Amino acid sequence: MGRQVLVTGGTGYIGSHTVVELQAVGFEVIIIDDLSNSTADVVDNIERISGIRPVFEEFNLLDLGRLETFFEKYRGIEAIIHFAAFKSVGESVEKPLYYYRNNLVSLMNILDCMSKYNVPNLVFSSSCTVYGQPDQLPVTENTPKKDAESPYGNTKAISEEILRDVVKVARELNVIALRYFNPIGAHPSALIGELPRGIPNNLVPFITQTAAGIRQQLSVFGDDYNTTDGSCVRDYINVVDLAKAHVIAINRLITSINIDRYEFFNIGTGKGASVLEVVKTFEEATGVKLNYKIVDRRPGDVEKIYADTTIANTVLGWKAQTSLYDTLLSAWNWEKRIRNID
Ligand code: WQD
């Protein structure tokens, strides 16, 4: 019987990849997910990859009564990785209360139950969006946070403040927040990956759907930025490398006693890549010519952001391993499998 970890949002994109990596090192995983942005067959595919079927309970974390019943049932949980949140930047602008309620009340319900049921360790899924457009690059963990560009981003910033304040009074609580840059790619098996509902907001799923013929053409949102080729720069992090950072964080919480009880780490590659570089690398990696056009800037986009990963590399002992080339190829292999393309 492995050490029990609860993964909220565990059938989602990053959550499912993290479940696989937790199982690979012997953790017993329990998933809570409301399937608002994923499907139950992800549990089957996790089992196909790892040979172990995680426990899966389907409900929304806003239902505190249901969550307490869950913790009454599962008494052995030592740590929680909290992914469950709505994450569409655009939708959050249209429905701010929907986002604030879901993302913040879910976290508060989790924290209430951790206190009530003596679960001491939490890894929180945060985002580089808390930095806004940084004045200096690369971004370190001490780069001043700026007003988020969207209600989604603001829920991440507010969540970090909630965690900071709760840790001060809940002496048994230990928290690590991982600030993701741009997660992309898919598991090498192509059995799990990113499957956005409707028209993809994010660049890489839009690229793979364009390559698969589902989308007619990729729109590149602006080539008049102050960057090498005029298109925006991001730090694209392989989703499996990102998943492994969560396992390291969980182990740090479970085994370490001398850590600052609230730590946060930038999880990126430390390298920036422009949109047009991603397009070019995708074409090189896959041999597929992409149909794209340059259009106007997308409101709210920051021009350039990429991580200083020194702290994650030295304190957490984690470093990104996978190249942009291999990561984009993994995304294409996943797209081909789910669309039955040879
Ligand atoms: C990347 C770049 C676009 C689509 C957001 C959230 C972040 C995280 C990841 C959830 C930008 C350009 C995109 C397209 C394009 N979200 N682009 N054409 O905006 O950096 O980050 O998603 O966890 O918190 O803020 O990611 O993939 O949307 O955009 O040109 O069709 O690709 O302008 O420069 P973003 P993205």
Number of continuous H segments (helices) and E segments (strands) in the chain: 12, 13
Which atom in ligand 1 lies closest to the alpha carbon of residue 184?
Answer: 27
The verdict on the CB of residue 179 being under 6 Å from ligand 1 is no
Instruction: Give the whole-angstrom CA distance, residue 199 versus residue 220.
Output: 15
Give the start-to-end residue ranges of the domains of the chain.
4-185+238-267, 203-234+270-339
Q: Is 325 a catalytic residue?
A: no
The Å distance, Cα 316 to ligand 1 centre, comes to: 26
Instruction: Give the whole-angstrom CA distance, residue 62 versus residue 56.
Output: 17
Residue 151: per-residue pLDDT: 94
Give pLDDT tens digits for 151-181. Answer: 999 999 999 999 999 999 999 999 999 999 9
The verdict on the CB of residue 88 being under 6 Å from ligand 1 is no
**Closest to 57 measured CA to CA, from 25, 11, 1, 122:** 11
Q: HSE (CB half, 13 Å, CA atoms) of 205?
A: 16
The verdict on the CB of residue 301 being under 6 Å from ligand 1 is yes
Which atom in ligand 1 lies closest to the alpha carbon of residue 231?
Answer: 34
Which atom in ligand 1 lies closest to the alpha carbon of residue 234?
Answer: 20
**CA triple 137-155-195, angle to 5 deg:** 85
Nearest CA to ligand 1 atom 3: 221
The verdict on the CB of residue 230 being under 6 Å from ligand 1 is no
Q: Can you give 224-260 as a three-state secondary structure string?
A: CCCCCCCCCEECEEEHHHHHHHHHHHHHHHHHCCCCC
Residue 257: per-residue pLDDT: 60
128, 139 Cβ separation under 8 angstroms: yes
Question: In whole angstroms, how far apart are CA 134 and each of 138, 141, 158, 232?
Answer: 9, 12, 18, 14
Residue 68: per-residue pLDDT: 98
Q: How far apart are the first and last CA of the chain?
A: 40
264 forms beta bridges with: 177
The verdict on the CB of residue 156 being under 6 Å from ligand 1 is no
**The CATH number of the domain covering residues in 203-234+270-339:** 3.90.25.10
Give pLDDT tens digits for 328-340. Answer: 999 999 999 999 9
Encoded tokens for 338: 């789910």
Give pLDDT tens digits for 118-143. Answer: 999 999 999 999 999 999 999 999 99
**Ligand 1 test: best mutation among 82, 89, 178, 238, most atoms within 8 Å of CB?**
89
Predicted TM-score (pTM) of the model is 0.97
Nearest CA to ligand 1 atom 17: 203
Question: In whole angstroms, how far apart are CA 301 and each of 212, 291, 296?
Answer: 26, 22, 11
Residue 238: per-residue pLDDT: 98
**Whole-number mean pLDDT of the chain?**
96
The Å distance, Cα 187 to ligand 1 centre, comes to: 20
Q: Which stretches of the chain score pLDDT less than 50? A: none
- Give exposure, 70-101, as e/b (b: 16+ Cβ within 10 Å): bbeebeebbbbbbbbbbbbbebbeeeeeebbe
Indicate if 203-234+270-339 has the same CATH topology as 4-185+238-267: no
The verdict on the CB of residue 14 being under 6 Å from ligand 1 is no
Give the domain 4-185+238-267 fold: Rossmann fold (3.40.50)
Residue 166: per-residue pLDDT: 97
DSSP class of residue 117?
Answer: T
Please state the φ and ψ torsions of residue 260, each to the nearest 5 degrees: -65, 125
- Catalytic member of 13, 99, 131, 152: 152
